[in-house]
Amino acid sequence: MFTGTHDRPQHLIADIGGTNARFALCSGPASVARIAAWPVNHFSSLREAIEHYLDECGRPEIAGAVIGIANPVLGDRIQMTNFNWSFSIEDLRRKLRLDALHVINDFTALALALPHLAENELRRVGGGASAPRTPLGVIGPGTGLGVSALIPTPHGPWLPLAAEGGHVSFAACNDLEQRLWEHARAEFGHVSMERLLSGAGLQFIHRCLSLEQGLQPQALGPADISFLAISDKDPTCRRALDAFCAILGTAASDLAVTLGARGGIYLGGGIIPKLGEYFLTSPFRARFNDKGRFSDYLSAIPVFIIDAAYPGLTGAAAYLERLEHDQITAGTDSARPGHAQRGGAQSRPAAARPDA
């Protein structure tokens, strides 16, 4: 489904996850238009998905692109962690005939979206008032587990962090989680948070709980488990989703104390926003607050569910606005991490510049 039109040349923006690819045209955060989304498994490559989108739009003139992708951006070569797409940033730029192509981590883009979200695009999950000019943390389970943050700077814009916090080591907080850790250790070796806090992680928890009860695990997808849990139609699904939300509470509170994120923790990704009222009474907030000597500190931190339809695109548009501002103030388009430019050297590591 498309929204809006533009006759003048635009930039392409994209939010590429392990399940869906979302595209739009824009010239800034206030002018995101012609939004479209498709499952990534409909296409053999990112280039094919982009070409399909541009065909659907009638082949508008595109000056450049900003792509948020669920993957570390460490140089020219991108190999997605949770899907089989891979590409060279410079090669993709040349084949699409773009003047410039910028690739950033998808949760870096989501973090950049936070200042642009309207009040009705956020749902509060407890806590007090946001402390001004303090870090904001963002975390979200979906196909994987994304993590990022915005750090305030004294006289400039927020500083987004390009992070891979979904791969921190999981630590159990009770006997059930210890058993889950043991099952995961036997299956995966290293047990990262993403092994439990993702769509596949919810399925893993459900499978473990089923086997512990002597039940044959059903072939249920994450959405099926969530539906059966929320509707109280399956007690094993309910236990699995409760455990999932409790573990997310631990991960979110760990992020909060690590960052000093008294401005708030924001929950994104493809799972939590779909849980509705259940999540507000789930074990998440109690576990978030349960930090021993730091329980009062955590209890004061607000948590928000991101309910915006396309926050990743909003963040990509915000990144584009920063690029244009930097060019005006610096008078140049210097080499940038995750960036390829016509007639210029392609730069080296990291998804976002320190001043982005």
Binding-site members for ATP are 14-19
Nearest Cα to Cα of residue 71 among 150, 163, 194: 163
313: left (phi over 0), alpha (psi -120 to 50) or beta: alpha
Q: In what order do the strands lie in the sheet with 62-69?
A: 33-39, 20-26, 10-16, 62-69, 100-105, 339-341
Please give the structure tokens belonging to residue 290.
């349960």
229: left (phi over 0), alpha (psi -120 to 50) or beta: alpha
Backbone CA torsion sign across 276, 278, 281, 285: negative
Please state the φ and ψ torsions of residue 80, each to the nearest 5 degrees. -60, 140
Show binding-site residues: 14-19
CA gap 56, 64 in Å, rounded: 18
Nearest Cα to Cα of residue 9 among 98, 73, 81, 84: 98
Backbone CA torsion sign across 305, 310, 314, 319: positive
Q: CA distances (Å), 235 to each of 70, 181, 231, 282, 307, in order?
A: 33, 21, 10, 14, 27
Nearest Cα to Cα of residue 32 among 309, 313, 308: 313
Tell me, rounded to whole angstroms, the distance of Cα 163 from its chain centroid.
Answer: 11
Please, are residues 35 and 313 in contact by the beta-carbon 8 Å criterion? yes
